[in-house]
């Protein structure tokens, strides 16, 4: 039988009608140990189904070193019918109780070793579509707080500018990288807006199109991503982590497959791969 733990919702930040950042603090013990990239399962009794508990997975946006709270970014699912758990989550207030199961998941665990036993020091490119950014907010803070010197780039895709949920945090991490120098902290963040023609997005001057367009070569043969890192992206110097719609993962693979990249799901006989992903399904 599943035994749910209890937590208190300590912080609710509504970014827009259907996008929220929430923080949880366990009631009966410390914030659980987890790895950057993992998800936690939340649950609430469903009043429309005799109080049966509805449980769903949510990627953790906070980092393992943060023992103050677990942070999540959640979309209210409205179509075709209101989502069973998210509709309830959006009614929660600070101080309310929620149920949780311990963090788990391997799909986006950070790769530390190459098949030959050497440390994996490849550049890390994280591509998050919408709330699929969450695991990479955890990655960025984890790398920062543990003094990891690997190069890490976070790319976020969103339909609207007010959905760039962690722009402030990620921009300040990049500012710190510029200030301290790449040898101390090597981080960049960029976003792409996929509905640039809409009036609400009229102030957007950055990359446009879905997030995978960062990989599309321009006339000079270099993609915006290669221009950003000032290097040719190859399967020997870069590993990708992608979280989002299956279409985002497929879109990224369409650019990388011709360059010889393979995902962990289809890894080579020697165990090597250059892309890990978690799909919205
Ligand atoms: C590993 C993982 C990590 C995740 N991380 C996040 C995250 O960080 N943030 C986030 O927002 N989400 C995340 N999700 C998605 C999350 O787990 C839920 O799937 C999502 O929040 C919807 O849950 P729900 O109960 O509100 O919707 P559900 O009730 O499960 O509904 C799902 C879909 O079915 C439709 N539906 C519901 N009832 C019916 C019906 N009777 N007939 C027809 N259609 C119906 C809904 O409209 C909706 O489109 C993650 C999922 C996974 C697997
Ligand atoms: N399994 C997981 O790990 C996970 C994690 C987070 C969220 N989710 C669930 O995923 C759902 C939607 O997430 P969201 O609201 O964060 O995303 P979203 O805001 O709807 O979309 C984010 C970005 O992805 C693009 N996109 C939409 N559909 C696409 C497709 N089929 N192929 C490629 N790109 C596409 C959007 O482009 P357009 O502007 O062109 O639409 C937008 O740029 C929610 O129900 C959430 O619960 C699952």
- Does 114 reside within a domain? no
Q: Does residue 129 sit in the same domain as residue 209?
A: yes
Q: Does residue 260 sit in the same domain as residue 202?
A: yes
- Alpha-carbon gap, residue 58 to 49, rounded angstroms: 22
Q: Does residue 100 sit in the same domain as residue 228?
A: no
Q: Give yes or no for a contact between 148 and 139, defined as CB atoms under 8 angstroms apart.
A: no
Which ligand is located closest to the Cα atom of residue 91?
1
Q: What is the CATH number of the domain that holds 12?
A: 2.40.30.10
User: Ligand 1, atom 42: nearest CA belongs to which residue?
Assistant: 81
Going residue by residue through the chain (281 aa), what tens digit of pLDDT does each one get?
A: 788 999 999 999 999 999 999 999 999 999 999 999 999 999 999 998 899 999 999 999 999 999 999 999 999 999 999 999 999 999 999 999 999 999 999 999 999 999 999 999 999 999 999 999 999 999 999 999 999 999 999 999 999 999 999 999 999 999 999 999 999 999 999 999 999 999 999 999 999 999 999 999 999 999 999 999 999 999 999 999 999 999 999 999 999 999 999 999 999 999 999 999 999 76
Nearest alpha-carbon partner for 148 in 179, 114, 111 = 111
Matching residue, tokens 């040898």: 183
Q: Give yes or no for a contact between 75 and 18, defined as CB atoms under 8 angstroms apart.
A: yes
Instruction: Report residue 233 as tokens.
Output: 């992206």
Domain boundary among 46, 76, 104: 104
Q: Does residue 133 sit in the same domain as residue 96?
A: no
Per-position b or e across 19-39, b if 16+ CB within 10 A of its CB: bbbbbbeeeeeebbebbbbbb
- Does 220 reside within a domain? yes
Q: Does residue 155 sit in the same domain as residue 269?
A: yes
User: Ligand 1, atom 1: nearest CA belongs to which residue?
Assistant: 57
Q: Does residue 159 sit in the same domain as residue 244?
A: yes
Cβ–ligand 2 distance for 158 under 6 Å, the answer yes
Per-position b or e across 244-264, b if 16+ CB within 10 A of its CB: bbeebbebbbebbeeeebbbb
User: What's the gap in Å between 77 CA and the centre of ligand 1?
Assistant: 6
Domain boundary among 104, 136, 162: 104
pTM of the model: 0.96
Distances (CA, A) of 29 to 25, 34, 70, 106, 133: 9, 14, 13, 24, 28
Q: Does residue 138 sit in the same domain as residue 245?
A: yes
Number of domains in the chain: 2
Q: Does residue 131 sit in the same domain as residue 90?
A: no
Domain boundary among 69, 104, 139: 104
Q: Does residue 43 sit in the same domain as residue 165?
A: no
Identify each DSSP E strand in 122-183 by its residue range: 123-129, 152-158
User: Ligand 2, atom 24: nearest CA belongs to which residue?
Assistant: 129
Q: Does residue 201 sit in the same domain as residue 247?
A: yes
Domain extent for 186: 123-279
Instruction: Report the atom number in ligand 2 closest to the C-alpha of 86.
Output: 47
- Does 61 reside within a domain? yes
| Cβ neighbours around 147 below 10 Å, total | 8
Cβ–ligand 2 distance for 247 under 6 Å, the answer yes
User: Ligand 2, atom 2: nearest CA belongs to which residue?
Assistant: 280
Instruction: Specify the pLDDT at position 281.
Output: 66
Q: Does residue 274 sit in the same domain as residue 135?
A: yes
Q: What is the CATH number of the domain that holds 248?
A: 3.40.50.80
User: What's the gap in Å between 29 CA and the centre of ligand 1?
Assistant: 28
| Cβ neighbours around 187 below 10 Å, total | 23
- Does 62 reside within a domain? yes
Mutate which of 42, 46, 53, 57 for ligand 1 pocket (most atoms within 8 A of beta carbon):
57
User: Ligand 2, atom 17: nearest CA belongs to which residue?
Assistant: 130
User: What's the gap in Å between 101 CA and the centre of ligand 1?
Assistant: 17
Cβ–ligand 2 distance for 160 under 6 Å, the answer no
Q: Does residue 168 sit in the same domain as residue 251?
A: yes
- Does 138 reside within a domain? yes
Distances (CA, A) of 173 to 38, 70, 94, 168, 276: 21, 20, 28, 9, 23
- Does 92 reside within a domain? yes
- Does 110 reside within a domain? no
Q: Give yes or no for a contact between 239 and 275, defined as CB atoms under 8 angstroms apart.
A: yes
- Does 57 reside within a domain? yes
């Amino acid at each position: 039988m599943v035994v749910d733990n209890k937590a208190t919702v300590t912080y609710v930040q509504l970014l827009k009608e259907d996008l929220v950042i929430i923080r949880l603090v366990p009631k009966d013990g410390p914030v659980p140990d987890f790895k950057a990239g993992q998800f936690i399962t939340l649950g609430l009794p469903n009043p429309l189904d005799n109080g049966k508990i509805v449980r769903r997975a949510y990627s953790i946006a906070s980092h393992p070193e943060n023992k103050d709270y677990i942070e999540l970014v959640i979309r209210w699912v409205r179509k075709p019918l209101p989502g069973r758990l998210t509709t309830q989550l959006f009614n929660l207030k600070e101080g309310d109780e929620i149920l949780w199961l311990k963090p788990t998941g391997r799909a986006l665990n950070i790769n530390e070793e190459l098949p030959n036993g050497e440390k994996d020091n490849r550049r890390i490119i994280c591509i998050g579509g919408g709330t699929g950014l969450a695991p990479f907010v955890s990655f960025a803070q984890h790398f920062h707080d543990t003094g990891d010197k690997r190069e890490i780039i976070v790319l976020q895709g969103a339909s609207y500018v007010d959905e760039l949920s962690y722009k402030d945090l990620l921009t300040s991490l990049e500012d710190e990288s510029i200030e301290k120098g790449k040898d101390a902290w090597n981080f960049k963040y960029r976003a792409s807006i996929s509905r640039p023609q809409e009036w609400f997005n009229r102030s957007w001057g950055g990359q446009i199109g879905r997030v995978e367009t960062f990989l599309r070569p321009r006339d000079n043969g270099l993609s915006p991503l290669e221009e950003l890192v000032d290097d040719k992206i190859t399967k020997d110097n870069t590993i990708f982590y992608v979280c989002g719609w299956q279409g985002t993962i497929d879109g990224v693979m369409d650019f990388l497959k011709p360059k010889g990249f393979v995902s962990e799901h289809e890894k080579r006989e020697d165990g090597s791969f250059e892309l890990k992903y978690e799909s919205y399904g």
